[in-house]
Structure 1
Amino acid sequence: MATARSTKTKIPQLSWTEAQPAPVVLISGPEAFLADRAGQAIRDALKAERADLEVHDIDAASYTAGELFTLASPSLFAEPRLIRVDSVEKCSDAFLEDAKRYVVEPAEDTTLVLRHGGGVRGKALLDLVRGGNGVEFVCAEVKKDQDRLAFAQAEFARLGAQIAPGALRMLVAAYSGSIGELAGACGQLVSDLGTKITEEHVNRATEGRVETNAFKVADAATAGRAAEALVLLRQAFSTGIDPIPMLAALNFKMRGIARAFGATGSGGQLAKDLGMAPWQADRAVKDARAWREEDLARCMDLAAETEWLLKGGSRDPEYALEKYLLFVARRGR
């Protein structure tokens, strides 16, 4: 058996957009949709070369010893093989041992694709691949608005379509959930409306869609916009969002307001004293001015009571959270 290449040799971490076949491929990172895209690109490239490609799937968590070597063994007609391994971050000990042996000396005419979503399990295998025994394509989460805009723009370019800048921003704002959902919306727009997408097209297609998340609800409540906060909260409930993270976001905002109550000084000094970014400190101080000290103290007590109600103290946690939300939005009055 060949000797493993030194783990001091570091392979570059390439973008998922560059995914292509190699004897051993590592697709890493938490963004499952992008990982699926990378895996599909590798399969398509192999299939284009040889229509008789054999494709095998392995679940690393339930793997049994020897399975990898059996699938990689040459067949009677010498068809090329693609072996896709999912859940490497949950792999069995048997898989870890077999895979470490395999990547040092991969089989001919075989592409092994390892999908690792994150975590420390399987680190020894990842280090071996990254040390020069494979190639790696990274699928990081797409969180920042600018990154989501860039992703959507690339999707339209991939589909041979153009979208107006304002329409692009509207679309990304409307689909602030999973990146797969955003990609689906891009594809649907092109399928339904063609290759020139305008703001009017997006507005009609989204029909005023509002994506609710915990901090949008908290922002509306702490700003005193009671009706808007209540609507957003109920929209969140209708989509299955759990009350606990909603409460956590609201409490996070209220703790900042409590710290900022009565604070004075320059923006930079306030931010330092409060342990916040300057814009957060400015917002917290502004919001705190709308509160009376006794009402803010009552709010802190109600926050603790609401947490208890949401964690089993009430049969109607949604009502308990609504009550607390309205107390915050009305500044205790």
Structure 2
Amino acid sequence: MTATGSGSPPPPLTLVTGPEDLLVDRAVAEVVGAARSADPAVEICDIAPGALQPGSFAELVSPSLFGEAKVVVLRGIQDLGADQADEVKRYLTDPAEQIVLVLTHPGGVKGKALLDAVRKHKPAVVDCPKLTKPGERIAFLRGEFRRSRRAITEEAAQAVADAVGSDLRELAAAADQLLADTEGTVDEAVVARYYSGQAEVSGFTVADLAVEGRLGEALQQLRFALDTGVASVLITSALATGVRQIGKVASAGRNTNELGMPPWKVDKIRRQARGWTPDGLTVALRAVATADAAVKGAAADPAYALEKCLVTIAGARSAPQ
């Protein structure tokens, strides 16, 4: 839920709950921004968790002699002492008109009595839950691009998440950097070039390009991956995974629930499966097995073995039954 609408003054009381610090900071910033839009001279008092001095809350929320507007942000109300919590409760029974109060709480049972008391006064509530599922982080990344009127493909967002990790601030920073350094829609090829040192991105990007029949791009990314230190065995592993997944999804038909794959991945592999036949998949798997043996010591030039494998896979994609 959003605390304020576009161009609207902020509500007098906002409660921001949840442990996701980045989302909490953004929710607070939205309220502050709305207050400044309504009155550029508004005073902002942002109190860090544990920094509120005993008895000082009443002073913070006291009306000004000249009626100036003020935003008071009180973070981490779960850590308030009993006397401080009572101050907040008393204020809520008779709030000042020119004061906008924002309270943050990470969730959980600590400070629940105060949290329940705040909710009784019907605040605008912004929930900031922890984004723990991969799909939630992908949605977050795509939302970052929509905020800037740009687009990133779901596959590219997955690649960024694989490269950066699950920390939301790091994901947001990665999105900001990609937005600043690129133009148009960000796809997997862009992400692979940008995060060239990440084996998971480079290896699987090579595999995706190969099974899609994009031989030139696959060869280019292969050389890039090898030059940046990606192990050859990671690339053959990714190729084997890519070919096998096409076979699994193709044979499953509409019954994909038992594959253990998220819907976005099933959709991606279905697109990749176009042009593949059972005979073609067999040829591709044999090529991967040959390349895997080569990079593990059966050939003098692993790079050549991998290039030959990519050529065979790209050719097998259109092989007749």
Q: Give the TM-score range, shorter chain.
A: 0.5 to 0.7
Number of paired residues? 201
**Who is 1:256 aligned against?**
none
- Residues 16 and 125 of structure 2 are in contact (CA less than 8 Å); yes or no, is this contact kept in structure 1? yes
Q: Deviations over 1:97-132 (max 9, x none)?
A: 101111222111111111111232321221122223
What TM-score do the two structures reach when normalised by structure 1? 0.56
**Who is 1:40 aligned against?**
29
Structure 2, gaps ≥5 residues long: 201-258, 261-321
Q: Counterparts of 1:17 and 1:209 in 2: how far apart (Å)?
A: 39
**Who is 2:52 aligned against?**
63
2:210 matches 1:186: no
Q: How far 1:91 moved relative to its partner?
A: 1.4
**Who is 1:145 aligned against?**
134
- Residues 167 and 199 of structure 1 are in contact (CA less than 8 Å); yes or no, is this contact kept in structure 2? yes
Q: Counterparts of 1:156 and 1:201 in 2: how far apart (Å)?
A: 14
Q: How far 1:164 moved relative to its partner?
A: 2.5
**Who is 1:104 aligned against?**
93
2:81 matches 1:92: yes
Structure 1, gaps ≥5 residues long: 1-13, 212-277, 280-333
Aligned AA (2:69): P
Which of 147, 151, 163 lines up with 1:158 in the alignment?
147
- Residues 4 and 34 of structure 2 are in contact (CA less than 8 Å); yes or no, is this contact kept in structure 1? no
Aligned AA (2:60): L
2:5 matches 1:49: no
RMSD: 2.5
Q: Does the residue aligned with 2:121 lie in a helix, a strand or coil? A: helix
- Residues 152 and 186 of structure 1 are in contact (CA less than 8 Å); yes or no, is this contact kept in structure 2? yes
Q: How far 1:182 moved relative to its partner?
A: 0.4
CA 1:182–1:37: 2 relative to 1, 3 Å: same
Q: How does 1:209-288 map to 2 (within 5 A)?
A: 209=198
Worse overlay, 61-70 or 77-86? 61-70
- Residues 87 and 116 of structure 1 are in contact (CA less than 8 Å); yes or no, is this contact kept in structure 2? yes
- Residues 63 and 92 of structure 1 are in contact (CA less than 8 Å); yes or no, is this contact kept in structure 2? no
What TM-score do the two structures reach when normalised by structure 2? 0.57
Q: Counterparts of 1:17 and 1:162 in 2: how far apart (Å)?
A: 25
Q: Deviations over 1:209-243 (max 9, x none)?
A: 268xxxxxxxxxxxxxxxxxxxxxxxxxxxxxxxx
CA 1:145–1:73: 2 relative to 1, 3 Å: same
CA 1:43–1:128: 2 relative to 1, 3 Å: same
**Who is 1:126 aligned against?**
115
Q: How does 1:7-26 map to 2 (within 5 A)?
A: 14=1, 21-26=10-15
- Residues 16 and 138 of structure 1 are in contact (CA less than 8 Å); yes or no, is this contact kept in structure 2? no
- Residues 3 and 124 of structure 2 are in contact (CA less than 8 Å); yes or no, is this contact kept in structure 1? no
Q: Counterparts of 2:181 and 2:140 in 1: how far apart (Å)?
A: 20
Q: How does 1:282-297 map to 2 (within 5 A)?
A: none
Q: How does 1:195-206 map to 2 (within 5 A)?
A: 195-206=184-195
Aligned AA (2:114): L
**Who is 2:104 aligned against?**
115
CA 1:18–1:141: 2 relative to 1, 3 Å: farther
Q: How far 1:57 moved relative to its partner?
A: 2.2
Aligned AA (1:183): A
- Residues 103 and 134 of structure 1 are in contact (CA less than 8 Å); yes or no, is this contact kept in structure 2? no
Q: Percent of aligned pairs with the same residue?
A: 34
- Residues 26 and 136 of structure 1 are in contact (CA less than 8 Å); yes or no, is this contact kept in structure 2? yes
- Residues 24 and 106 of structure 1 are in contact (CA less than 8 Å); yes or no, is this contact kept in structure 2? no
CA 1:141–1:17: 2 relative to 1, 3 Å: farther
**Who is 1:239 aligned against?**
none
2:160 matches 1:171: yes
Q: Counterparts of 1:195 and 1:21 in 2: how far apart (Å)?
A: 34
**Who is 2:69 aligned against?**
80
Q: How far 1:145 moved relative to its partner?
A: 0.9
- Residues 82 and 112 of structure 1 are in contact (CA less than 8 Å); yes or no, is this contact kept in structure 2? yes
Q: Counterparts of 1:155 and 1:59 in 2: how far apart (Å)?
A: 26
**Who is 2:279 aligned against?**
none
